[in-house]
Amino acid sequence: MSNSQAESIVAVDDVTKIYRQGRVEVYALRGLSLRVGAGELTALYGPSGSGKTTLLNLIGALDRPTSGRVSIEGRDLGGMSRGALSHLRRDRIGFVFQAYNLIPVLTAYENAETVMVLQGADAPTRRKRIAALFAEMGLEGLEDRRPDELSGGQQQRVAIARAIAANPAVVLADEPTANVDSETADRLLAIMEELNRRHGVTFLFSTHDPRVLERARRLVRIVDGRVENDERR
C-alpha cells in the first residue's frame, strides 16, 4: 500500500468500466483515477451519461470495475469476498439516494437506526445517537412517523441520518436534491455542510444541481468517463 493510498479514504486507480449490450461494448469509465481525503466535501459533476453514478457505485462496492483498482481506507475492494464487501458497506460507507430508499413499514426512528442495529449496537447507544442527529437535523417529534407520513425533505433528512448514524468513513450521495423543492434542497445542503464542518463527515456527491456545486469545496468534472477538471477552493 502506498502512502497516498493510506492517506486517502477513497482511492480510484486507472479504473475502466465496460458494460456489454449484446455485442456492443459501452465504456462508462475510461482509465479514471481519483483520491478523496478525510473531511472533504466533493461534488462530481458533468453531462448525463458521463460516468458519475457508475463511479459512485464502484466506490460504494455495489459494482466492480472491468479493470483498475478501487480502495476504501487502503482496502482493495477487488480482493474482497461478497461477505467482506457487505460488511464494508455496512460499517464504512453511508449512502444517500435521490429516491430516499426508506423502508415503508418502519418509523423514521427505526429507519435511521437500521445500520446501527445491523452492527449490533445496543438500544441505549442507538437512542442517544439518533436523538442527537434528529435534534441537529430538525426531525424531533417525527420519530414515530412512517415514510408516507413525511414530506420529501423530511424523508431525505431521515436518509441522511441513517447514512451517518454509524460514523462511516465516507457518505456517497447520488443526486440528493433531485426530488425536493429549492427551499428544501437548500436546507438539506446546509445540514450536510454543517455535518461536514462540525463533525468532519466526508461527503462525495454526484450532482447536476448548481446549489450543490456552490457549497462543495472540491469540484470534479467528469466527461466521457474521465476526469476533465479537478478544482479545490
What residue spans of the chain are helical by DSSP H?
3-7, 52-59, 82-92, 108-112, 114-119, 123-136, 152-164, 182-199, 210-215
List, for residues 46-71, the tens digit of each pLDDT value: 999 999 999 999 999 999 999 999 99
Task: Please tell me the CATH code under which domain 40-65+81-232 is placed.
Answer: 3.40.50.300
Residue 3 has pLDDT above 80, yes or no: no
Cell of 178: 433531485
Residue 52 confidence (pLDDT): 95
Q: Rounded to two decimals, what is the model's pTM? A: 0.90
List, for residues 160-177, the tens digit of each pLDDT value: 999 999 999 999 999 888
Helices 152-164 & 182-199, crossing angle to 10 degrees? 20
Domain residue spans of the chain: 40-65+81-232
State the pLDDT confidence band at 2, using cuts at 50, 70 and 90: very low
